[in-house]
Amino acid sequence: MRLDSTIVAWTLSVLSVSVLSFAAAAGESAPPRPNVLLILVDDLGYGDLSSYGATDLQTPHIDRLVSRGMRFSAFYANCTVCSPTRAALLSGRYPDTVGVPGVIRTYPHNSWGLLSRDAVLLPAALKTVGYRTAMFGKWHLGLGEPNLPNLRGFDFFHGFLGDMMDDYWRHRREGQNYMRQNDQAIDPEGHATDLFTDGTCRYLRERGDTKPFFIYLAYNAPHFPIQPPEDWLDRYRARHPDVAEKRARNCAFIEHLDDGVGKVLRALEEAGHAGRTLVLFTSDNGGSLPHAQSNGWLNGGKQDMLEGGIRVPMCAVWPGQIQPGSRTDRVALTMDLYATICDAAGAGYDQSIDGRSILPTLLGRPQPPEDRYLVWVRLEGGRRYHGTPYYCVRHGDWKLLQNDPDEPMRMYNLKDDPKETIDVSQEHPQIRAELVEALEAHIERYREVPYRLPDGTGPGEIGQPRAQ
């Protein structure tokens, strides 16, 4: 099929974001370089914050953060699951373009990602302009060299290398201890959420230099297993005795997480950094419906390409720069945060990236309307996915998707049908064809990017869409 000119332009070039400040280009003075605190939570659904409509739980600290800056209503994770979104966040690129189309796991036969060595990660980019870089929490981008946090740009790491924890108190996965402080294995006592909260607070209070910092705080919570501390669960049950057990545990888990975020924000204030720190908060994918997590009014959940699987909460706070109480419906993705943070920090990078800076929007300045084809890819094994990828592509209000490789692609108009209930593929064949061509072009460009080490069959490749 022949590609139209818009798709050709999109296909033949990877978006290269200018390293010049948009403010300087517009003749405006650039804001001072901020510290950056980037908080990523795990599986937090669009409907699981009271600031996003939840009525059966309380998240006062995150809600206060949202109120102090800009709230996004159309922010998207780069994938329906963990590793790919984290790869996009730290590389500024689509996850399949850097070798992470699926979840990185303990055993190679069931691991679907190999972070590319040539991807310049965000902490490495920020270090070139003098930032100190630290990470706390869930890494999930590799279990050994060269894909370890300290080898990919972080000066300090205190966290968990693996994917999910089998137990938030014992911190193991598949019997392995993946808790590390830099390159040393550690085995601390306590709930993982508290450990990562306390580590971040300690770093903020004890850091001894005046260089700007980038802190990446990546909580495992509220990813299952749903394990709130018992005192938090007791307090929740006392307020909501009629809430079902599964939901009650999840709500208490999120309220405990919220308390941790509050402690970190308080430490930021007490250390005197709050007034000059850009704080970003978001989730790596939608909430898990089987675990009683909520995506509000959105259809679908974690693992789905429906809105509930990929649309997530997001807010940005920067005192004196971002208007408190502001809102935007601009469409943006996790990978856009790379360009945005570099733009705010004045950091350049030699690599071409797919993300676009949303700093003008954050600062209340004009920014051209969004106009790009957006692609989501996930590769997974097991009986449902059997090692075959499934996809989503969006342009404007039009969205083409499948939730597993065996189902036909469906198309929705999100403006007319935000709950994605009416497949309009037959009514708009030309638009559907353009979305398919854009998706095929993306796949063709990156199908040979390896996502596994050679194991006798050679590196994996991303294949063509199975069902169109």
What pLDDT digit, counting tens, does each position of 421-442 carry?
A: 999 999 999 999 999 999 999 9
pLDDT at 228 over 80: yes
Q: Are 191 and 225 in contact (CB under 8 A)?
A: no
pLDDT at 88 over 70: yes
In terms of average pLDDT, the best of 13-22, 273-282, 453-462 is: 273-282
For the beta carbon of residue 244, count every other beta carbon within 10 angstroms. 10
Per-residue confidence (pLDDT) for residue 22, from 0 to 100: 37
Task: Tell me the C-alpha to C-alpha distance, in Å, between residue 118 and each of 322, 327, 351, 377, 449.
Answer: 34, 36, 9, 20, 12
The pLDDT > 90 percentage for the chain reads 85
Of 168-177, 266-275, 453-462, the least confident: 453-462
Indicate whether 99 belongs to any domain. Answer: yes
Indicate whether 355 belongs to any domain. Answer: yes
Per-residue confidence (pLDDT) for residue 14, from 0 to 100: 30
Residue 466 burial class via C-beta count within 10 angstroms: exposed 0-12, middle 13-18, buried 19 and up: middle
Indicate whether 181 belongs to any domain. Answer: yes
Q: How confident is the model at residue 351 (pLDDT cuts 50, 70, 90)?
A: confident
- Say which CATH number the domain at 249 has: 3.40.720.10
Q: Are 273 and 35 in contact (CB under 8 A)?
A: yes
Using alpha carbons, select from 172, 210, 208 the residue that is nearest to residue 188: 172
d(CA 357, CA 24): 14
Q: How confident is the model at residue 209 (pLDDT cuts 50, 70, 90)?
A: confident
Instruction: For residue 278, give both structure tokens.
Output: 């850009």
Q: How confident is the model at residue 194 (pLDDT cuts 50, 70, 90)?
A: very high
For the beta carbon of residue 183, count every other beta carbon within 10 angstroms. 11
Indicate whether 389 belongs to any domain. Answer: no
Question: Which strands form 398-401's sheet, in the order they lie side by side?
Answer: 374-378, 390-395, 398-401, 410-413
Q: How confident is the model at residue 370 (pLDDT cuts 50, 70, 90)?
A: confident
pLDDT at 59 over 60: yes
Indicate whether 24 belongs to any domain. Answer: no
Q: How confident is the model at residue 15 (pLDDT cuts 50, 70, 90)?
A: very low
pLDDT at 247 over 80: yes
Indicate whether 8 belongs to any domain. Answer: no
What pLDDT digit, counting tens, does each position of 132-179 carry?
A: 999 999 999 999 999 999 999 999 999 999 999 999 999 999 999 999
Per-residue confidence (pLDDT) for residue 208, from 0 to 100: 80
Domain span at 226? 31-362
What is residue 269's DSSP assignment?
H
Per-residue confidence (pLDDT) for residue 468, from 0 to 100: 53
Backbone angles phi, psi at 15, to 5 degrees: -60, 125
What pLDDT digit, counting tens, does each position of 390-427 carry?
A: 999 999 999 999 999 999 999 999 999 999 999 999 99
Instruction: For residue 259, give both structure tokens.
Output: 């308390």
Mean pLDDT of 105-112: 92
Q: Are 378 and 96 in contact (CB under 8 A)?
A: no
Indicate whether 187 belongs to any domain. Answer: yes
Mean pLDDT of 208-223: 95
Per-residue confidence (pLDDT) for residue 283, from 0 to 100: 98
d(CA 99, CA 446): 9
Per-residue confidence (pLDDT) for residue 26, from 0 to 100: 41
Instruction: For residue 360, give both structure tokens.
Output: 């003008």
Using alpha carbons, select from 130, 176, 134 the residue that is nearest to residue 159: 134
The amino acid at 277: T
Indicate whether 425 belongs to any domain. Answer: no
Per-residue confidence (pLDDT) for residue 377, from 0 to 100: 98
When the pLDDT of each residue in the chain is averaged and rounded to a whole number, the result is 91
Count of domains observed in the chain: 1
pLDDT at 313 over 80: yes
